Amino acid sequence: MDILKKIDLDWSNVKTIFRREFANYFNTPIGYIFLGIFAILVNFLFFFITRFWDRGYSLQGLFDMLKLIYLAFIPVITMRLWAEERRSGTIELLLTLPYSELELILGKYFSALCFLGIALLTTLTLPLIAFIVASPDVMVLIGSYLGAWLSGSAYIALGLYISWLTRDQITAFLLSFLACLFIYLLGYQPVLQFFGPFKELLGFLSVSWHADSLASGLLDSRDLLYYIAFAALFLYLNKISIENFRKGT
């Protein structure tokens, strides 16, 4: 409790912001449309692209495909979180409320995380099919889903920060897409081959590299610490940006 007081964090305020932001995803049909598109891309294209039936009923193709879908899906769910507030002018009103910068950030961050969690739930039909026709490794499956969720959590922190930097949702989407693509390519082997002795270091900095590590079924504390540090860095940058904005208003 003493630590929470020092960092000016009241979880009741975080819950209030979380409920507001999470409800915004479903106040219009857009949230349902995004989930529908995500479910269609993953569940239907999975069988056509990954050749599930021809590759020994392996689910690896699912998580490889998620890495690519994330590049567009994550910017979609983060682009409005701050950009829309700044465009509409509600940011000034929001910042006059008795909430700290961290409470505002975490409320928005957790709402996007939960929306991502719901999206991942729509893919559970594929493991169910795999268990019916084969016997997938449970630990590998758990590690793969954990890696997918943690990868999303890292991209969301990045996208949330980028959303603060612009007043336009489309610009926020494009910048987040390019940033996520850059981070993804750091773990893409054909690209890493050009960096010689630095390829291992660059690979370690990649979100997808750590997801692959977790997908092996072994929970390595270094992977978990990486995701925590990655998200914390961009949430902290977001906090500093809001503090500077408040000082300037």
Give CA–CA dist 93/162, Å, rounded. Answer: 21
- Per-residue pLDDT reduced to its tens digit, 101-147: 999 999 999 999 999 999 999 999 888 888 888 787 888 889 999 99
- For 34-41, the CB contacts below 8 A with 24+ separation are 34/73, 34/76, 34/77, 34/119, 35/118, 35/119, 35/122, 38/69, 38/73, 38/119, 38/122, 39/119, 39/122, 39/123, 41/65, 41/69
Q: Distance (Å, rounded) from C-alpha 157 to C-alpha 23?
A: 19
Rounded distance between C-alpha atoms, residue 43 and residue 87, angstroms = 35
Per-residue pLDDT, 44: 79
* Residue 1 in this model has a pLDDT that exceeds 50: no
pLDDT in tens, 135-183: 878 888 899 999 999 999 999 999 999 999 998 999 999 999 999 998 8
Integer CA distances (angstroms), 241 to 51, 53, 74, 222, 234, in order = 46, 49, 21, 28, 10
pLDDT of 126 reads 85
Average pLDDT of span 74-97: 90
Residue 231 pLDDT class (50, 70, 90 cuts): very high
Q: What is the pLDDT of residues 4-16, one digit of tens each?
A: 445 668 899 999 9
CA distances, 233 to each of 141, 230, 246 (Å): 28, 5, 20
Predicted pLDDT of residue 62: 84
Structure tokens at 190: 């054909």
Boundaries of every domain in the chain:
2-248
Res. 2 pLDDT band, cuts 50 70 90 = very low
pLDDT band at residue 189 using 50, 70 and 90 as cut-offs? low
- Mean pLDDT, range 206-231, rounded to an integer: 86
Q: What is the pLDDT of residue 132?
A: 84
pTM of the model: 0.90
Q: How far from each other are the two terminal CA atoms of the chain, in whole angstroms?
A: 31
% of the chain exceeding 90 in pLDDT: 45
